[in-house]
Structure 1
Amino acid sequence: MGSAAGEGSKGGLGGVLSGVAVAVGLLLFLAGFGWAAVTYRPYTVPTSSMAPTIDAGDRVLAQRVDGAEVRRGDVVVFSDKTWVTGSDVVKRVVAVGGDTVACCTDGKLTVNGKPVDEPYLPKGAPAEVQGFPTVTVPKGRLFLLGDERQGSLDSTAHLSDAAGGTVSRSAVAARVDSVVWPMRGMLARPTGFEAMGTLSRPGPLPFIEAMIVAGAVLVLGGAAYGPIAARVGRSRARTGAEPVHVG
């Protein structure tokens, strides 16, 4: 009797723990998706102007940010009517208000007279942009380039506009954090701009992903406990009920 009671007690505790695991897992799973829905927006990039960082047709997640938060090196999503694209545009911020940007010194883009290392450019491709003069970016505006410099309709293609190719910070809707399809993960940090100021902090996407994965594991593990425990119990019962043959 003592043994049976002990087994029942253990089974009851296991059932409670499995229920708690499922509940916590569901909470983490749903909270992760909810957080992602509030914080991020998905976009499909239609052109290869940001290759190889982002290829044509890639699906990205971009964190909703205020334009005032944007810093040099960020890849942003924006909409500017003067660019007449009819859709959101994805480019890299290379200069902000007050900066002087030019091309090129020793084959490198310069910002405020300092050459910038840009490892995200296509291998073997020059940083030069043909016909790109020195530009001083007005306060509250941004100068943006594609990583594929030779095929990008970016700020250099709009130098004759009234704003000299620059875009207002208020036009920015989001900052790209990750390429999710195909799964390339988080964008590399634009460390070449560190000498000119603080870089943007990465968004919470890795933590959100960890929440979702942990939640899924807890739900599956907790849900699997019941059938496994029942099967083990039946197996033990059959073993205990086997007749004992004497001599």
Structure 2
Amino acid sequence: MSGSGRHDGRGRLGNVLSNLAVAVGCVLFLGGFAWGAVVYAPYTVPTDSMAPTVNAGDRVLAERVDGEDVRRGDVVVFTDPTWGAVPMVKRVVGVGGDKIACCDEGGRLTVDGKPVEEPYLRVNGASSPASGSGAPASPQDFTATVPEGQLFLLGDERNTSLDSRVHLEDAGQGSVPRGAVQARVDAVAWPMNGMIGRPEAFAALPGGVSSEGPLPLQAGALVVGVVLILGGAAYGPLAGRSARRAARAEASARGR
């Protein structure tokens, strides 16, 4: 094979690899985007009742889930007529059969008598007792037994949140049906504060915590797709230019 043919073959191979990378990148990018659009819904949080985990005006991504899949510690989006006909965002601290009480001698929330460390709380501008501030997990004491098929919900900003504590005199002692849940919040998309973890304290209770949603996989597919598209688009012309330069250099060497 002549040098020119060899370099032409290298250029054609570069174009093939470039096109393949762009095609795979498009599949990953579009597939990840479509998968995310099916599984997740965006919400704008209207109040600071979930601060500092989620602040007013934050855009969150919430996985569409069945209420039966919800576990303690989940931050959920729900709608209940008793609470108002608008979607609300709160944290599940109790499920059917749980006895919820606050506060124990250490100022902590208890579930069936077991204290729960809640490092995500901010009370009176300070951290929760789990961080050593000594501030109680709720400014007022309360006790409730959660009926089967219901959820007990609190905001992370316990001083201002209008949550299950406000509805203790209602049927169900402030709880809402599992069927009221529309989605589980997995991440704060804007500002980009990242994933919302599952609290370790709830993992030791019966039923444990929910598994992480597919958002990291979907984000990974989008990132890899973009890299392949940009890299493939750049590689083809660069490979072709390199092959042409090598061919000219070889022709020049032969002409000497």
Task: Check whether TM > 0.5.
Answer: yes
Counterpart Cα distance in 1 of 2:44 and 2:118: 24
Other structure's SS at 1:155 match: coil
Check if 1:213 corresponds to 2:223. Answer: yes
Counterpart residue number, 1:47: 47
- Within 5 Å, which residues of 2 pair with 1:75-90? 75-84=75-84, 86-90=85-89
Counterpart residue number, 2:205: 196
In the comparison of the two structures, how many residue pairs are matched? Answer: 245
In structure 2, relative to structure 1, the CA distance for the partners of 1:96 and 1:3 (3 Å cut) is: same
Whether the 8 Å CA contact 1:73–1:190 is kept in 2: the answer is yes
Gaps of at least 5 residues in structure 1 are none
Counterpart Cα distance in 1 of 2:232 and 2:150: 52
Check if 1:232 corresponds to 2:226. Answer: no
Percent of aligned positions with the same letter in both sequences? 58
- Within 5 Å, which residues of 2 pair with 1:132-171? 132-171=141-180
Q: Which amino acid in structure 1 is aligned with residue 46 of structure 2?
A: P
1:101 to partner: Cα distance: 0.2
- Within 5 Å, which residues of 2 pair with 1:76-115? 76-84=76-84, 86-105=85-104, 106-115=106-115
In structure 2, relative to structure 1, the CA distance for the partners of 1:98 and 1:244 (3 Å cut) is: closer
1:242 to partner: Cα distance: 5.6
TM-score normalised according to structure 2 size? 0.90
Q: Which amino acid in structure 1 is aligned with residue 53 of structure 2?
A: T
Q: Which consecutive aligned stretches of 4+ in structure 1 deviate over 6 angstroms post-superposition?
A: 243-246
TM-score normalised according to structure 1 size? 0.93
1:160 to partner: Cα distance: 1.9
1:7 to partner: Cα distance: 1.1
1:192 to partner: Cα distance: 1.0
Counterpart residue number, 2:131: none
1:13 to partner: Cα distance: 1.5
Counterpart residue number, 2:119: 119
In structure 2, relative to structure 1, the CA distance for the partners of 1:158 and 1:209 (3 Å cut) is: same
What is the root-mean-square deviation in Å for CA atoms of aligned residues?
Answer: 1.9
- Cα deviations by residue, 1:150-205 (Å, 9 ceiling, x for unpaired): 01000001112223210000000000000111111111221111221311000010
Gaps of at least 5 residues in structure 2 are 129-134
1:237 to partner: Cα distance: 5.1
- Cα deviations by residue, 1:26-79 (Å, 9 ceiling, x for unpaired): 000000001000100111101111011011111110100000000000000000
